[in-house]
Amino acid sequence: MQQKKAPWYYLLLLILAGETVFILPFVLSRVFRPTVLDVFGLDNVQLGLCFSVYGIVALASYLVGGPLADKYPPRKLIAVALWMTALGGLVYSTFPSYTVLKILYGYWGFTTIFLFWAPMIKATRVWGGSNAQGKAFGFLDGGRGLVGALFGAMGVLIFSLFITSIIAEASVSESRDAFRYVILVSAAIAVLVGFLVWFFMKMGHNAEQAIILEKISASQIKEVLKLPSVLLLMVIILCAYVGYKITDVFSLYAQDVMLYDQVKSAQVGTFLLFIRPVIGVVIGILADRSRTTYWLVVSFILSFFGALLFATGIISVSTTALFFISILIVAAGVYAARSLYFAVMERGEIPLVLTGTAVGLISIIGYTPDIFAGPAMGYLLDSSPGVEGHQHVFWMLAAFSLVGGMAAWFYFRLYSKEKKLR
């Protein structure tokens, strides 16, 4: 039965919540990576292992949280996830020991995935209906990128305001005090967004009940697993997500290779975040006007060639323009793939009512980079300090982009043929 389309503000709240929940565990460390390493006394491998703990907990959370999204209204699960994640921010602001930090990332792996991830994807698919999946997911990821960029810009502003000395000469203690304010403001905003979602992201009782199942059976799970689209999306998302994780190193690249200070390197991370909303909106519109699967292939091609620009070592402190052009190419590919990989679910014939279950199963494989990507990048960076380590990281991106592009091409060919036969 065709459902009445949810209003625009429903998607806006979804966008706001969709990035706010990840600000504390991911966005701050992406924008402020050099600062995070300093104030917590970590090296790249240790930070990567924190992300691994997150990924291990998230893995189990995907499996259980997927079916949960098919049983309860998305807004309630999303709001609770935001409040619980914000609570972890209070612990984060105390700059705990490395052991406690790993436990905290495990906690965030639960709060941001078990109650949040599948409900967000399902709610987006519901908003997009049968004819606007590219727009729905493109706007979701683009909007999340804009929210993340605004958080990043806000964080840089707060951080710079509370640094009392010359930024390049700031002590670890001064950086810690300034960064604490960034953390606490981020946590407070997460609490506020949770209330907005709970009270305003409503569809009406009948509409909510229409997308909920009382019980998820084993046969329904087997039905989802038999779909070729589900198996292909596992590979596609895994490869695309490696690319997304690698964007975390751009601010560090700016410091290590381009020789920027802490604030300028954080501004590079924020610049990257501002690219994301533009890519999301543009690719979403293009995908709905042609084929989402075609543009998914194009996105992997872009990320592959962008990765080669960094991997070959032609970017250095004297090639500032090329540095930013290369960031644009990599970002265009990575963010386009991220915007589209769930948008192709409709073409892949995955039932709407089983979206949560499908997302949970796909994510078990697709988001394993949360476990291995951080330590792998940390090892490559720390074992070959400077330019060489960064080159190795981007060769890693090139390899995964190639595999992901092949899987996306197969998906495109498979479902294009099936559509012609109808």
CA dihedral 344, 63, 68, 216 (to 10 degrees): 90
Instruction: Give 231's contacts (C-beta < 8 A, 6+ positions apart).
Output: 225
What tokens does 27 get? 């966005």
Using alpha carbons only, how large is the chain's radius of gyration in Å? 21
- Provide mean pLDDT across the span 150-163: 83
Instruction: Give 369's contacts (C-beta < 8 A, 6+ positions apart).
Output: 55, 238, 241, 242, 245
Q: How much is the pTM?
A: 0.76
- Phi-psi label, residue 165: left if phi above 0, alpha if psi -120 to 50, beta otherwise: beta
Residue ranges per structural domain of the chain? 8-421
Alpha-helix runs per DSSP H in 70-171: 74-92, 98-111, 117-128, 133-161
pLDDT, tens only, 234-243: 999 999 999 9
pLDDT, tens only, 160-180: 887 766 555 567 778 888 889
Distance, in Å, from the CA atom of 267 to the CA atom of 250, rounded to the nearest integer, reads: 10
Percent of the chain at pLDDT > 90 equals 32
List the Cα angle 386/389/392 in 5-degree steps: 150
Question: Residue 387's pLDDT band (boundaries 50, 70, 90)?
Answer: confident
Question: Residue 2's pLDDT band (boundaries 50, 70, 90)?
Answer: very low
Query: What does each C-alpha distance from 350 to 47, 105, 108, 282, 362 come to in angstroms?
Result: 36, 32, 29, 25, 12
pLDDT, tens only, 176-230: 888 899 999 999 999 999 999 998 887 654 544 445 545 555 666 677 777 888 8
DSSP label at 260?
A: -
DSSP label at 2?
A: P
Q: Which residues of 97-111 are buried (b: 16+ CB within 10 A; e: fewer)?
A: eeeebbbbbbbbbbb
Judge contact between 139 and 280, C-beta under 8 A. yes
Average pLDDT, the chain: 84
Residue type, 234: M
Distance, in Å, from the CA atom of 5 to the CA atom of 2, rounded to the nearest integer, reads: 9
Distance, in Å, from the CA atom of 154 to the CA atom of 149, rounded to the nearest integer, reads: 8
- Provide mean pLDDT across the span 267-271: 78
Query: What does each C-alpha distance from 299 to 29, 145, 180, 329, 349 come to in angstroms?
Result: 25, 17, 37, 10, 22
Q: What is the CATH number of domain 8-421?
A: 1.20.1250.20
Distance, in Å, from the CA atom of 385 to the CA atom of 178, rounded to the nearest integer, reads: 28
Instruction: Print the SS3 string covering 318-331.
Output: CCHHHHHHHHHHHH
5, HSE (Cβ side, Cα atoms, 13 Å): 12
6 has pLDDT over 80: no
Tokens 């690719």 correspond to 283
